[in-house]
Amino acid sequence: METQLTVRLPADLTGKIKQRAKQLRLKKADIVRQALVAYLEGPEETDRPYDRVKHLIGSVHSGIGDFAARRDEIIRTIRQHNFRD
């Protein structure tokens, strides 16, 4: 069962919704529904950035055996390739 919800929006936001609806050839209500679903199904605001990427940590191998021991060499190499210096 669908329910109707009335919401007051600022004119600039309404304009953006109308523009997007026209671009995608959808109804304004469809744009609002899609935006609400994306917002509500997205990451929670209480998530820390770490929580969003923790599954990636340790998944990339640099190929450098002892990064700390080669720190100065790596910095020198980066500076040689940095054209802004």
From first to last of its 85 residues, the chain has per-residue pLDDT tens of: 889 999 999 999 999 999 999 999 999 999 999 999 998 887 776 678 887 777 777 766 666 667 677 778 878 888 887 766 5
| Both tokens assigned to 26 | 């959808």
pTM score of the predicted model: 0.52
Q: Is residue 4 part of a domain?
A: no
Sequence-distant (≥ 6) Cβ neighbours of residue 9 within 8 angstroms: 17
Nearest to 32 by CA among 7, 10, 12: 7
Contact between residue 53 and residue 43 where contact means Cβ atoms under 8 Å apart: no
Domain boundaries, position 64? 11-81
Give the pLDDT score at 22.
97
Q: Is residue 37 part of a domain?
A: yes
Give the pLDDT score at 32.
96
Domain count, the chain: 1
| Both tokens assigned to 13 | 């936001």
Q: Is residue 3 part of a domain?
A: no
* Helical segments of the chain, H only: 11-24, 28-41, 49-53, 71-81
